[in-house]
Structure 1
Amino acid sequence: MKTILFNKTECGVDFLLNVIHDTGIVDIYMLPETHNADYFEIIVFKKGNGYVYIDNRKIEIKNNSILFISPYQLKKWEVHVEELDFTILIFKEEFLNEFLNDKLFTYKLLYFYQYDHPTRLDLDLDKIKGTCNILQEIKSELVSPNLDSAHIIRSLIYYVLHRLNRDYANQNHLPFQIDTSNYAYAFKKLLEEHIKEKQRIEDYSDILGISRITLNKAVKKQFHQTATQLLKNRLLTEIKNELLYSNKTISEIAFGLGYSEPNHMMRFFKKQTGFTASEFQSSYQNGSLS
């Protein structure tokens, strides 16, 4: 499977951040076969037509919509190139977290590493145009930098990411407050790093140096679900991706995720989805899953 890497030289920028507006790049960024990338993507569609598969979800691409894709999410595109008008913001996680001096910044954005709600935001035309104007201003600073360009880019990127975060929270009726302790965001980050080998809440509370009760309280306050629910959702996504995109057997997947017996994993999967592994794979191939 192909992984697209961020390349500053090819992008023609000095930052690990870029803004692209050109349907000619469809063959590079919107491949019809399963692939992933090592950077975040925010794709703003003034005009959209087609579908994208992100992990195990099929998402329709609409006019006046925005897609959010996290690093290494599996994806493939079915688009009508001649009917697209879009702008892409791409950036590396470590760059943005350092650039904004917040190592957990990307985990505070509700639309990234999101496994409970669709990662598409639908806005009115004026908001879409406003977002594109900000991205174009960022692009201008990238291609023709001045001494104060870093400050301007920092201000613009901080504003647009938080503005979209508010709109996404409103669209999906999500809680919108900042966890001052950072435990909830740190837990989310650790899930991305360790879900394949750690599936107990105690594993994460130990890493954070807090009690399970404290961790659960922080997660519930921030995300309105328990730490266990968040972990199960992330683990379920991992199992789905393995079933759909790897050539591993059920046993290999189960043992790779630390299950002592394959049937333990499949009981968990059936309870969470209502499907057996073969039913899930068949439904995905038939396009009946969304």
Structure 2
Amino acid sequence: MKKKNLNPERLVNVPFNKTQCGVDFYINTGYSSEICGVLTENPTFKTDFFEFFFFRKANGFLVLNNKRIALHDDMALLLSPHQQQEWHVEEDALEYTFLIFREDFMRTFIADKFFAYRLLYCYQRDTPPYLSPVSQPLFRECMQLLKKIKQELQHPTADSYNLIVAVLYYLLLVINREYASTYHLPMDVPKNNYAYQFKELLEQHIRKVQRVTEYADMLHISRITLNHAVMAQFGVSANHLLKQRLVEALKNDLLFCNRTISQLADDFHFSDPSHLMRFFKQQTGKTCSQYQSDYQNGIYE
């Protein structure tokens, strides 16, 4: 699944590789014994696919976007694409079933292009990206569904793609329901797609566009309408989501892009470097240099 690390000081981008994974689709599932060593092959990396880990036995911790996540037995870890990962584990002591897939794997079958954004554990940063502990009934159901996917991957027939997507779709929704219940998140039927479109636009334009009004203009609605939609679906304001996504992008570039504060201010269209530094301190409680120093010294959020 991963390519060799050519520069251990850099953030490695790891694309989904169908050939290395041994499957014909942008999806795979299996056991930790099949991929032992892959989590620590690169000191720091990010992927272009979703990664779910259903741990029976776990140790150590994961640093995800500079946040420390302790790993436990009976835990489901639900990782979205394009997040900075550092695994501090003894891989041969882990026991888990994994599921990896690219979002576009479902696109042919599922017409709703915002489906992934509707999943409360995807592309969000307010609640933890895990369920711990996972109830035994849910754990067993997930294992049964992943077993079915694996069987279709190993012995594909003409309708395997449709069946795999259908099983995956059901699995993701079952997890979503449990996640919403665990973290007391809203599950209202959306009246429109504005909130999900806003999330998608943030992923595409956060480096250049940092005002909610501009995103509302892209959607041809008022700022008030957009804010109401975001609040109804995610329980936070549109401005909160925007600042959250912006500070995450800044953190990533501070640590891995070897850019000065002045260069970052230009990259992110801040009018002055001091404005960037003030924004960063307001959002994180740390100066840019303190944040970099803490990371280098193994101090995580």
* TM-score, normalising length: structure 1: 0.94
Query: Matched residues in 2 for 1:36 and 1:247: separation?
Result: 17
Residues 1:238 and 2:242 are matched in the alignment: no
1:63, distance to aligned residue in structure 2 (A): 0.8
**Cross-structure match for 2:19:** 9
Aligned partner letter, 1:16: Y
Residues 1:41 and 2:45 are matched in the alignment: no
Q: How does 1:140-289 map to 2 (within 5 A)?
A: 140-289=151-300
Q: How does 1:87-166 map to 2 (within 5 A)?
A: 87-122=97-132, 123-166=134-177
Query: Matched residues in 2 for 1:155 and 1:24: separation?
Result: 25
With over 3 angstroms needed to count, the CA separation of the structure-2 counterparts of 1:285 and 1:124, relative to structure 1, is farther
1:235, distance to aligned residue in structure 2 (A): 0.7
Query: Matched residues in 2 for 1:168 and 1:156: separation?
Result: 18
Q: 23, 36, 43: which one pairs with 1:26?
A: 36
> Considering only aligned residues, what root-mean-square deviation do their CA atoms show, in Å?
1.7
1:281, distance to aligned residue in structure 2 (A): 2.5
Q: Is the 8 A contact 2:63 2:300 kept in 1?
A: no
Residues 1:82 and 2:98 are matched in the alignment: no
Query: Matched residues in 2 for 1:133 and 1:284: separation?
Result: 40
Aligned partner letter, 1:208: L
1:104, distance to aligned residue in structure 2 (A): 0.8
Q: Deviations over 1:31-87 (max 9, x none)?
A: 351111111111111111111111121111111111122222111211112221111
Aligned partner letter, 1:196: R
The gaps in structure 1 that reach 5 residues or longer are none
1:276, distance to aligned residue in structure 2 (A): 1.2
With over 3 angstroms needed to count, the CA separation of the structure-2 counterparts of 1:207 and 1:98, relative to structure 1, is farther
Query: Matched residues in 1 for 2:268 and 2:140: separation?
Result: 44
Query: Matched residues in 2 for 1:162 and 1:37: separation?
Result: 22
Q: Deviations over 1:204-241 (max 9, x none)?
A: 11211111111111111111111111101111111122
Query: Matched residues in 1 for 2:66 and 2:217: separation?
Result: 31
Q: Secondary structure at the match of 1:15?
A: coil
Q: Is the 8 A contact 2:44 2:86 kept in 1?
A: yes
Query: Matched residues in 2 for 1:61 and 1:184: separation?
Result: 31
Q: Is the 8 A contact 2:57 2:95 kept in 1?
A: yes
Does 97-106 or 84-93 show the bigger shift? 97-106
Does 180-189 or 129-138 show the bigger shift? 129-138
Does 260-269 or 3-12 show the bigger shift? 3-12
Aligned partner letter, 2:247: L
Q: Where does structure 1 differ by over 4 angstroms across 4 or more consecutive aligned residues?
A: none
Aligned partner letter, 1:118: P
Q: Secondary structure at the match of 2:107?
A: helix
Q: Is the 8 A contact 2:194 2:229 kept in 1?
A: yes
Query: Matched residues in 1 for 2:152 and 2:22: separation?
Result: 12
Aligned partner letter, 2:167: L
Q: Deviations over 1:85-139 (max 9, x none)?
A: 1111111112223332211111111111111122121113342232122111111
Q: How many residues align?
A: 290
Q: Secondary structure at the match of 2:208?
A: coil
